[in-house]
Amino acid sequence: MAGGNSTVDKRKSKRKLVGQVGELAHGESKKFTLRCGGIGVEAFLISYEGSLHAYLNRCRHIALSLDWLDNQFFSDDVYQDDSVVAFKDIKPRAPVHILIIPRKHIPTLLDLEPADGPLIGAIFFAAAKLAQEHGIAENGYRIVVNCGADAGQSVFHLHYHLLGGRHMGWPPG
């Protein structure tokens, strides 16, 4: 068919290459803006084990400005080491609300491997240290991780919420 489908041709002509395999080193990320219904939405690419993974920032409490390799993952870091970085949530649900994120890209809890055991230990070590530093360790605190869309996970890079400074009800949710 000569000329093809004009709607498809128009859509293809508006596409913009945002990354390709080999462009980013392992663990490196790149932020870009995606237009959705005329609105700019933050998105990012992460290179992991030879392939690129793209994610939209649909989680309003995580403001993305990724720079993994230069230890500048977020502008409001409150803790970082070789394994994790932590920063204050910009829409806190408690007087203390800190996000703890592994530097290694892991989409969900279901993607953990036995070799990730030390990394999970580092996350909980960071949580305990932050709870002490922010004065919530003695009265108690909560660590929350969402796994999957039904649980509320909207950014598919594993992250833990450290919450404290007020009484927490049970059950959560």
Q: pLDDT (tens digit, 9 = 90+) per residue, 43-73?
A: 767 676 677 766 665 544 444 444 444 433 3
Q: For residue 97, what pLDDT is reported?
A: 93
The catalytic residue among 105, 134, 159, 161 is: 159
123: its two tokens? 């996350």
Residue 167 annotated in active site: no
Residue 32 has pLDDT above 80, yes or no: no
**Amino acid at residue number 131:** A
pLDDT (tens digit per residue) in 125-163: 999 999 999 999 999 999 999 998 899 887 788 999 999
So where are the chain's domains? 6-164
CB atoms within 10 A of CB 7: 8
Residue with tokens 């700019």: 40
User: Contact, 53 vs 62, CB < 8 A?
Assistant: no
User: Which of the following CATH numbers is that of domain 6-164: 3.30.428.10, 3.30.70.260, 3.40.50.2000, 3.90.1170.50?
Assistant: 3.30.428.10
Ramachandran assignment for 22, one of left (phi > 0), alpha (psi -120 to 50 degrees), beta (any other) = left
Q: Give this prediction's pTM.
A: 0.61
Separation of alpha carbons 127 and 108, rounded Å = 19
- Identify the helix (H) or strand (E) that includes residue 163: strand 160-164
Strand ranges, E, within 57-118: 77-80, 84-88, 96-102
